[in-house]
Structure 1
Amino acid sequence: MATLAYPSASTARSPVASGSRLQSIDALRGLVMVIMLLDHVRETWFLYMPVGDPVDARTIMPALFFTRITSTLCAPIFVALTGLSAYLYGQRHSPAETSGFLLSRGAFLVLLELTLVNFSWRAELVPQFVFLQVIWAIGLCMIILAALIHLPARVILLLGIALVAGHNLLDGIVFLPDHPLFEPWAIIHERSQIELAGTVIKFNYPVLPWIGVICLGWSAGGWFSKLTTGERRRILLATGTGMIVGFLILRALNIYGDAPWFVVPGEPVRTVMSFLALTKYPPSLLFLLPTLGIGLILLAAFERANDSRLTHWLSVMGGAPMFFYLFHLYLLRVLYLTARAIWGTNHGDIFGVDSLCWVWVWYLGLIVPLYFPTRWFSNLKKRRKDIWWLKYL
């Protein structure tokens, strides 16, 4: 913990260049975006097969279960990288400038969630439903981090640990819709919904544990500004491995951190599925331990393979994350509407493919085509520093 908050002077031998992006961070962000694409393809072509939270290990088909949990890496890693990137931004700017950027960037993300992101899923000018999801959560976390960065580094670290490890203690607090705290609690901790002017607003990403994640990401920034690459890689591996081991022990004990898992007699695969079925909305302690742990290990791997072609390719994708996010959502929407216009609806009032294999075919077929426009925009950002608003994408 002390190393995380205050890297010692003896280890501060090779600071990261203050004006350059870290390819390993962009590569991990790019990998997360590629994985995220799989889940959004599933939600486009396989929506008629509902997936609950946590996933019901007794009823869901295993292939769909493991397709779904693959994407659970995305939100925790992306939020943590947001905090880490904010720290590195702060190494090149004053605290006031950093707070200002976090505040404006966060407000921009909240606006995007309410407008372009929601429109991409339903294409309704006057929506009946508004889903506040990961972009909303990241935006709120950035706004809150704008204030928190003025606290001592150790306080931010301890706050992050307390929120991630302790928020499940609040699970028993539930407010009824007529209670004055119902709406604030829906935003902070309990996944719920409200109705406002005829529109149902669903808070899918209660923000409290995500604030903890972004604080931990910020606190890890010292590893990248103070340590050599070798030292940083060892700490990333050790911390990530420790988080996964901690998850395995705590989950096996079945006493805290998520809904209990169970043994399915005669079906070992479903028993494993139950062990891995973790709550994402909001993310439980047991959900965050392995996902963030895997993220740290992957980041260490990209640090080692910094010159590889795969790392470079993924770093291009991760260099323009918001562009990729919006572009792929609208591309999927156009493809879906085109398919429905050609073949009509075949699962109630929606169109869907009949096999999960086709979800994977669509997914693999879209990765390369999405790379080229993202590369174009990433290069545009590098060339046109005079266009100030490009940094928001």
Structure 2
Amino acid sequence: MAVHPSTLEASTEESARTGRIASIDALRGLVMVLMLLDHLRETWFLHVSVADPVDARTALPALYLARLAVSLCAPVFVVLTGVAAYLFSTRHTPAETRAYLVKRGLVLMALEVFYLSELYWGVASPTLWLQVIWCIGVCMIVLAALIGLPRPVLVAVGLLIVCGHNLLDPIQLQPDQPLFPVWAMLHQRDVIVLPFGLVAKTTYPVFPWIGVIVLGFALGPWFLPGIATRTRERRFAMLGCAMLVAFALLRLGNGYGDKPWFVVDGSALRTGMSFFALTKYPPALLFLLLTLGIGALLLVVLERMGDRPVVAALAVFGGAPLFFYLLHLTVLRLLYHGAFAIWGATQGTVFAVADYTWVLVWYAALIAPLYFPTAWFSRLKASRRDIAWLKYL
């Protein structure tokens, strides 16, 4: 992998050799950098409820806008995971691809349970947070079972899940019902009581995300070396625009695809906030149409930007996304516990800043320090292909 590609358009030789396309890394890097902002909010704004940070009636506009921006992160990352799985499959046998997806999926699930969850135990009760890394791990394992299907079937399965899963919203099981744990992991964001005083929170019910990763795998052929860059750009521009038009039509109809939006008397701003206040857990159809539509257009923009420094820098973050994810969450937890040890609770029972502006200050201050170790690991991963375990990070 070229950490600093001289051009964003991957050559036929480079794409065939490494399977990496710089525009994919740049888009993935962009959403990783946006993710940092949301995790900083969770670190320094713990006293602000995160139950619904896009509640049009109560959310701070600045917090709402930041949350709206970071809504791109999970959908774009999951669909690109599917694309990356397809590119991996072009250089490996089906059996090797399945084995890699299963192993990588298990690694991600283990990291969520045995490392990432524990980072928050100092500020919350012992909880297994089954969040995005867990979700991606499960999706990769499911994808491993589906990759042998014909591409039209994969498209049909992905669309059926993404477009139809909201029909399952009325199904709400109670903890005493036999299938509750399974349904809570698949489609109902809830809490599962575990032995030894532990609980598991299914923050990312996985069923809709399976549809997203399957569609990403089905999009993979658009990135083959034989597809001209302009052809790919045209396809993604059309796809992105079509998704945004579908979002607008469905949202204006205020029917299927998410909870209804509403008019806030005397506030055009909050009425607009209501229109774009979409459900992420699990991701509603309208949420996915908006975020993935924007993601498709961003990919076109990044490809056309060429080898500008900002694009190359984003590609570094996107070239080692799991390393960056683990690194920045670890740094944020250390910073939080250090601040709590020095100053104690400043907002209720937690250390937190009173003004969201400080979250933005921390955001600007941390990007560069996190860039350099990520770049180092990206170079290590590229140069030491003889170390097998590196590919799982």
Q: Please give the range of the TM-score, normalised by the shorter of the 2 chains.
A: over 0.9
Cα shift at 1:241 = 1.1
TM-score normalised by structure 1 residue count? 0.94
- Aligned partners of 1:132 and 1:204 also within 8 Å: yes
Tell me which residue corresponds to 2:281: 281
1:108-167 residue CA offsets vs partner (Å, 9 max, x unmatched):
10000001111222259x962111000000000000000100111111111000100000
1:16 CA drift (Å)? 7.5
The verdict on how the C-alpha distance between 1:116 and 1:345 changes in structure 2, with shifts beyond 3 A counting, is same
Offset at residue 373 of structure 1 (A): 0.4
Deviations 1:176-222 (A, max 9, x none): 11111111111111111111111111101111100000011001111
Q: Is 2:354 the partner of 1:337?
A: no
Q: After superposition, give the CA deviation of every residue in 1:340-381 in whole Å (9 maximum; x if it has no partner).
A: 122110111100001000000001110111000000010111
Q: CA RMSD in A?
A: 1.6
**What residue identity is the alignment partner of 2:178?**
P
The aligned residue for residue 162 of structure 1 is: 160
- In structure 1, the partner of 2:305 is 305
1:145 paired to 2:155? no
1:187 touches 1:203 (CA, 8 Å); kept in 2?
yes
The alignment covers a number of residue pairs equal to: 380
Residue 53 of structure 2 contacts residue 64 of structure 2 at CA under 8 Å; is this kept in 1?
Answer: no
The CA distance in 1 between the partners of 2:192 and 2:51, in whole Å, is 20
Distance 1:15 1:189 in 2: 42
**1:85 aligned to 2:84?**
yes
Paired residues of 1:114 and 1:130 also in contact (CA < 8 A): yes
2:210 & 2:285 partners in 1: Cα distance? Answer: 13
Deviation at 1:53, TM superposition (A): 3.5
Query: In 1, Cα distance between the equivalents of 2:183 and 2:139?
Result: 16
Q: Which residue of 1 aligns with 2:105?
A: 106
Matched to 1:263, the amino acid is V
Amino acid at match of 1:305: M
- Within 2, Cα distance between the matches of 1:102 and 1:323? 18
Report the alpha carbon displacement of residue 259 of structure 1 after superposing the two structures with TM: 0.5
Match of 1:257 in 2: 257
| Residues 111-130 of structure 1: pairs in structure 2 closer than 5 A | 111-123=110-122, 128-130=126-128
Instruction: Give the Å deviation of 1:75.
Output: 0.3
TM-score (norm 2): 0.94
Cα pair 2:53 2:63 within 8 Å, conserved: no
**How does 1:1-393 map onto structure 2 within 5 Å?**
17-20=15-18, 21-53=20-52, 55-123=54-122, 128-197=126-195, 198-225=197-224, 226-393=226-393
Task: Give the whole-Å Cα distance in 2 for the aligned partners of 1:291 and 1:154.
Answer: 23
CA 1:16–1:259: 2 relative to 1, 3 Å: farther
Could you tell me how far apart the structure 2 residues matched to 1:36 and 1:177 are?
32
Alpha-carbon displacement from aligned partner over 1:308-333 (angstroms, at most 9, x marks no partner): 21111111111111110001001001
| Secondary structure of residue in 2 paired with 1:99 | helix
Q: Which runs of 5+ in 1 are unaligned?
A: 1-13
Q: Residue by residue, what CA displacement relative to the aligned partner does 1:2-24 show, whole Å, maximum 9, x if unpaired?
A: xxxxxxxxxxxx79731131100
Per-residue deviation, 1:235: 0.5
Letter in 1 for 2:223: F
User: 68-77 vs 51-60, which deviates more?
Assistant: 51-60
1:91-119 Cα distance to aligned partner (Å, 9 max, x none): 11111110110010001100000011112
Higher mean displacement: 373-382 or 175-184: 175-184
Matched residue SS, 2:43: helix
Q: SS where residue 142 of structure 1 aligns?
A: helix
CA distance in 2, matches of 1:370, 1:35: 13
Give the deviation of 1:383 after TM superposition: 1.4
Output the amino acid matched with 1:182: F
Identical counterparts, % of pairs = 55
Runs of 4 or more consecutive aligned structure 1 residues displaced over 3 Å after TM superposition: none
Secondary structure (helix, strand or coil) at the match of 2:148 reads: coil
1:41–1:359 CA contact under 8 A, matched in 2: yes
